[in-house]
Amino acid sequence: MSVKIPESDLPVALTPPQAVEIAYCEPISQVATELTRGLPVLIECDKDLSPYLYAELRNRLKQLNLRCLYLDGRPTPGEDGELVPNGLVGTMIAQLRDAVRGAVEKRVVVLPHLDLLTTSQGGLTSEAREVISLLYENPELVWLGFKHPSFSLPSVIERLFPHRHSLLGIPRKRLQQLVTQAESRKFGQAFNPWALYSYVSGMNVVRLRKLLSTLSGEDYPHDATHVYAQIRQATSGGKLEIPHVDLQRDIGGYSKVKRKLKSEILDVLAAKDVLTDSDEIRRMEKLIPRGMIFWGPPGTGKTMFAKAIATSIGAAVTVISGPELKSRWVGESEERLRQVFLQARQSAPSVIIFDELDSFASARGTYTGSGVEHSMVNQLLTEMDGFNSDELVFVVGTTNLVEVLDPALLRPGRFEFHLQIPHPDAEDRREILKIFDDQMRLGMTGEAIEFAVRRTGEFVEGAAAGTRYSGDHLNALCRSVARHRLRENVHGPTCVADMDRAFMEWVERPDMTTAEQRVVATHEAGHAVCSLCCSHSPPIEQISIRGDMAGALGFVRHQQHAHKYVMTQARLLDDICVLMGGREAELLLLQDLSIGSAGDLVRATEIARALVEEFGCGGQQVGIGYFPTQSKPGSTQQRLSETQLESIDRQVNNILEQQRERAVEILTNHLPMAETLRDLLLEHQVVDAKALAELKK
């Protein structure tokens, strides 16, 4: 069945009452039937729709000789004929009291402002307490209530309405009857209501008719972009962001992440948009996941990827911070969630981004606060389960801790699409730097970019220990270069020296004495010489004694190892040897020992113990097996015997001693190289890979 409609099949003109009857004829008929049977009914809809729904229901009930009483809170004339000002709620209560206690026949009492009987936190107002008894007092009355979808009702009021109808948006099958012939010409030669529906699915029919009647532009345009832009502006209401983030142009690197997004989401949506058969479109819509989890370390661009999805499908975006949703007032957090989803549905196509989703959606039963998180998770699940397959609304949750999220959120049908966005690798960092270079007009040379790529492969200087470079760090680095160029009025290309200055300009360095620098230079020279002589150690990128790495007076920075995924015994033994090189160089060249090797010894011991206990490299003394000496959480391992523990400790000490002796042998055989490298470090503070290559010749 084709989704394109000939112009002649569309209505010539439509009044608002006609449009309401066409759009909601089925629920209106059902409500009328329920009311005639004496069943109270609650209708959830927008305020501007409720008068038209009531008018249509009143006409139908009048034909069945069932009278309606509309309690809208308008002031009533007093005995002298003048209006008595009593306020909306006060007048409505007075009208309700008269209706309940003065009724002598069966009739429908309409409450168009039922949600005003509650506070914004879902509790009862002081006036509403009087209303509760009135609502249950007269069994001859049949109640018809209207509520706005962003408000919740107290359970004592909800129990009064066994039948409820939610009239949010427009049924897709009715849209082709709600566009006039003149309006359809604004969309081109062949009108496609399915394409229009993705932009107006959350609007009620009254707003839709007002919007369509105000569209401007020529008839039968070759490209309908202009008219869709008008609709997009009207549905977003100026409150939501319309992003312009191109997945390929504005996000560097992450080719694997992009391929997954494109193949699983964007390609499916693109294929759906070109279909002309309604059955095929429905089948395709069922394949699209509406809930997504983007997880990874901070600063890796999770929100940027979500905005790129929105840009690709022309969707509006609302970014919600998890902590901002929380409220100490009972029910207010859930109401905020309802309003977020309501606005997103009314502004479809849209993407809701819950930043820091784990702040309120962690596994139920793990909360230590007031317990509001439990209600928020339940509300979130309710909203997501209420999506229709033809509504183009996506929910993206970003988190650094995907493992703590509530399992109910991660099942298929909810947040079923999971996307990991890790720290950028070398190729990713190169592409990210190129984008920032172009955006900020830095004019980086190829050598400067490659230097920055290598330098950002390690931990961030001056940051907390263990902090790796993310996209945000690279952005900050390039902004630092741009500020320096602005201050110094630089117009030429950005070279390696400029990048190095940006890395180290504001890093706090220790003010070491000449004697202290000599100790640090000797220590780092020992590491470097052992590394150069160990075949399984990666190439050295840079050696420094400037104290520009957090927690260290000096360092030896290596290039990324060629083998990233396979770790061998020989490589680990070389690592221990290199770690031992610093302290042994101090003993050989200074005949003294500083405490700077403490961290090296800790790391060397960890590696040696892992070789013996976990990797089966303990030799005949220990045997082949898994012999952890420390229990891990949840582990059911058996306790090791004293003999086994002694064997393990003995073999760990043997490995450490063997590699220490190996380091001594290397340094003794290459003592002139160690002395020369030490002197170079004292003179230049930093020695790079090129200088090391000259030293080895």
| pLDDT one-digit tens code per residue, 127-175 | 777 788 888 888 788 999 998 887 778 778 888 888 999 998 888 889 9
Q: CA-to-CA distance for 527 and 524, rounded, in angstroms?
A: 5
Closest-CA residue to 558 (of 576, 575, 542): 542
To the nearest whole number, what is the mean pLDDT of the chain?
A: 84
Q: Which residues pair with 143 in a beta bridge?
A: 109
Structure tokens at 280: 């095929």
The DSSP element (H or E) to which 572 belongs, if any, is: helix 569-590
Cα 242–chain centre separation: 17
Give the pLDDT score at 27: 94
Structural Rg of the chain based on CA atoms: 36
Give the pLDDT score at 80: 45
Q: Average pLDDT in the 379-399 region? A: 81
Is residue 572 over pLDDT 80?
yes
SS (HEC) of 63-77: HCCCCEEECCCCCCE
CA angle at residue 511 from 506 to 515, to 5 degrees?
Answer: 145
Residues 6+ apart with CB under 8 A from 163: 31, 34, 39, 40, 41, 42
Give the pLDDT score at 21: 94
Read off the pLDDT of residues 441-456 as tens digits, 9 standing for 90 and up: 999 999 999 999 988 8
524 is catalytic: yes
Structure tokens at 536: 């399984």
Pairing of strands 540-544, 686-688: antiparallel
Q: Average pLDDT in the 558-569 region? A: 81
> CB 330: neighbour CB atoms within 10 A?
13
Give the pLDDT score at 368: 52
Please count the CA atoms within 13 angstroms of the CA of 340 that sit on its side-chain side: 25
Q: Where are the alpha helices (DSSP H) in 64-136?
A: 88-102, 126-135
Read off the pLDDT of residues 613-654 as tens digits, 9 standing for 90 and up: 988 888 877 888 888 877 655 455 567 788 888 889 999 999
Is residue 83 over pLDDT 50?
no
Read off the amino acid at residue 114: L
> CB 461: neighbour CB atoms within 10 A?
16
Q: CA-to-CA distance for 582 and 520, rounded, in angstroms?
A: 9
Residues 6+ apart with CB under 8 A from 160: 40, 135, 136, 143, 145
Residues 6+ apart with CB under 8 A from 485: 442, 491, 494, 498
Give the pLDDT score at 331: 64
Structure tokens at 499: 């990048």
Q: CA-to-CA distance for 191 and 173, rounded, in angstroms?
A: 14
Axis crossing angle, helix 25-36 with helix 16-23, rounded to the nearest 10: 80
Instruction: Kindly state the DSSP code that residue 317 receives in the 8-state scheme.
Output: E
- Judge contact between 304 and 298, C-beta under 8 A: no
Q: CA-to-CA distance for 178 and 84, rounded, in angstroms?
A: 42
Percentage of the chain beyond pLDDT 70 is 90
Sheet of 316-321, strand order:
316-321, 350-355, 393-399, 291-295, 415-420
Structure tokens at 521: 């230079």
Q: CA-to-CA distance for 178 and 20, rounded, in angstroms?
A: 9
Least trusted range by pLDDT, from 384-388, 425-429, 440-444, 636-640: 636-640
Q: CA-to-CA distance for 41 and 146, rounded, in angstroms?
A: 9
SS (HEC) of 230-243: HHHHHHHCCCCECC
Q: Which residues pair with 109 in a beta bridge?
A: 69, 143
The SS3 of residue 602 is: helix
621 compared with 104, residue with greater pLDDT: 621
Please count the CA atoms within 13 angstroms of the CA of 380 that sit on its side-chain side: 31
Active-site residue identified among 524, 541, 584, 613: 524
Give the pLDDT score at 608: 94
Q: Average pLDDT in the 307-323 region? A: 85
Residues counted in the chain: 697
The SS3 of residue 690 is: helix
